[in-house]
Amino acid sequence: MNAQKRHEIFTRLQAENPHPTTELNWNTPFELLAAVLLSAQATDVGVNKATARLYPVANTPQAIIDLGIDELKAHIKTIGLYNTKAENLMKTCHMLVDLHGGEVPGTRQALEALPGVGRKTANVILNTAFGQPTMAVDTHIFRVSNRTGIAKGKDVVEVEQKLLRHVPKAFLHDAHHWLILHGRYTCIARKPRCGSCIIEDLCDYKDKTELA
DNA sequence: ATCCCGAGGG
DNA sequence: CCCTCTGGAT
């Protein structure tokens, strides 16, 4: 795919949704980190309900440590995978206190060393809390990038690097959200809605008849 | 490749 | 009822 096509694609996605944002609620880097950690395989709406209960009680690493694992689990029990997430968040809080003065570190290496924080979560933190130009490639972005031809790659790292290289600068910050929204509502995994897709004429996906 | 695992929607 | 939701660790 050429640069002009990419530019046109993001121009249309931007027109469709001028100001895309995370729907996760947070006020501090730590609140963002905890929310993103909790958001794996969960909806933002669901995470917000849990953090609305948790943060008034505890919104710092030390406060969550003081809360204790059982109380933490009780507060986030409405989210899927809550058991693992509570254990990971608790270990992460201990590491933040013991190794980083209670603050959220701003490097990929330090972030990915935290339990429950992988490449995708680290990219979100680096981008949203530290303003770094990263691309958090999730299942939606991976699928949409490969199907459309915006950035083809065999794994998320390859897609991530191609997106960083090829998405026009002006669109880079919001591209993340546009691709996710497009993947969720139009370029659906099982059955893409090519008929109602606004970039259908610019898309590489040629196998539409089989899955449509 | 498999486990974790609740809420909301079709 | 079945499926998915901005994954990560083993």
In order, the DSSP letters of A60-82 are SHHHHHHH-HHHHHHHHTTSTTH
| Regions in chain A scoring below 70 on pLDDT | 207-212
Q: Name the CA dihedral angle for A204, A167, A105, A124, rounded to a multiple of 10 degrees.
A: -40
A113 touches strand C (CB under 7 A): no
A120 touches strand C (CB under 7 A): yes
Write down the pLDDT at residue A208. Answer: 55
Number of domains in chain A: 2
A83 touches strand B (CB under 7 A): yes
Average pLDDT, chain A: 92
At A8-21, the pLDDT tens digits run: 999 999 998 888 87
Domain boundary among A75, A105, A128: A128
Range of the domain at A179: 3-20+135-211
In the 50-79 segment of chain A, residues within 7 Å (Cβ) of strand C are none
Same structural domain, A150 and A124: no
Domain boundary among A75, A94, A128: A128
The gap between A105 CA and C2 C1' (Å) is 41
Same structural domain, A69 and A145: no
Domain boundary among A109, A128, A147: A128
Write down the pLDDT at residue A205. Answer: 86
CATH number reported for the structural domain that contains residue A98 in this entry: 1.10.340.30
Active-site residue, from A73, A91, A138, A152: A138
